[in-house]
C-alpha cells in the first residue's frame, strides 16, 4: 500500500511539474473583461464600458516571461470637466507607454497572464490620465 501511495504521489507531482513547465513555455498573455487573452495586442481598452480610454500600440519593445513594454498612442475624451462622458465626442491623443508586469499562473487556463498594467502619458491634459494602473485577476480571463 505504501508503494502504491508513493507511486501515485510521485506521478501526480510529475504531472504538475510537466503541466507547469508546458504552460511556462507558452507566451505570457494579457486578458481582462474587455480583452480576449491577446499576445502583443494592437489595442488595449483601458475603460471598456464606452471605449473612451484606449491605448493603440505601435511597437512592443519587450514581451517576455517577466514583463512587456509598448509605445504608442493613448486616446481619451477631452471635454470640459462639467460635460458628461456620454456627451463628450471630442477625443485627444498623446504618445504614451504601457508596461505589463507581475505575471501569475492562472490555473483555470493553465498558463501565465500579466496581472498589472501601467499606462504613462505625461502630456495628458487631465492629470488623472497621466498615470493609470490596472489590476487583472484570473476570474476575468476569457
Name beta bridge partners: 29: 113
Nearest to 30 by CA among 19, 20, 40: 40
Question: 35 or 59: which carries more pLDDT confidence?
Answer: 59
Q: What angle do CA 134, 135, 138 make, to 5 degrees?
A: 145
CA 49 to each of CA 15, 107, 109: distance values in angstroms, whole numbers, following the listed order: 41, 27, 25
| Euclidean distance between CA atoms 131 and 124, whole angstroms | 9
Say if pTM beats, i.e. exceeds, 0.95.
no
Give the largest Cα separation in the chain, rounded. Answer: 75
What percentage of the chain has pLDDT greater than the value 90?
Answer: 41
pLDDT tens digits for range 85-113: 788 888 899 999 999 999 999 888 888 99
Show me where the domains of the chain are located. 28-140
Average of pLDDT values for 121-142? 86
CA 118 to each of CA 29, 37, 101, 103: distance values in angstroms, whole numbers, following the listed order: 15, 17, 8, 13
Amino acid at each position: 500500500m505504501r508503494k502504491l501511495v508513493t507511486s501515485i504521489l510521485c506521478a501526480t507531482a510529475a504531472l504538475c511539474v510537466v503541466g507547469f513547465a508546458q504552460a511556462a513555455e507558452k507566451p505570457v498573455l494579457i486578458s481582462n473583461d474587455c480583452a480576449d487573452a491577446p499576445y502583443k495586442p494592437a489595442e488595449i481598452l483601458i475603460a471598456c464600458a464606452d471605449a473612451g480610454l484606449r491605448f493603440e500600440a505601435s511597437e512592443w519593445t519587450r514581451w517576455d516571461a517577466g514583463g512587456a513594454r509598448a509605445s504608442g498612442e493613448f486616446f481619451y475624451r477631452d471635454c470640459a470637466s462639467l460635460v458628461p462622458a456620454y456627451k463628450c465626442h471630442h477625443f485627444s491623443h498623446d504618445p504614451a507607454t504601457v508596461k505589463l508586469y507581475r505575471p501569475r499562473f492562472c490555473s483555470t487556463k493553465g498558463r501565465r497572464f500579466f496581472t498589472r498594467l501601467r499606462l504613462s502619458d505625461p502630456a495628458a491634459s487631465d492629470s488623472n490620465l497621466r498615470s493609470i494602473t490596472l489590476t487583472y485577476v484570473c476570474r476575468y480571463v476569457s
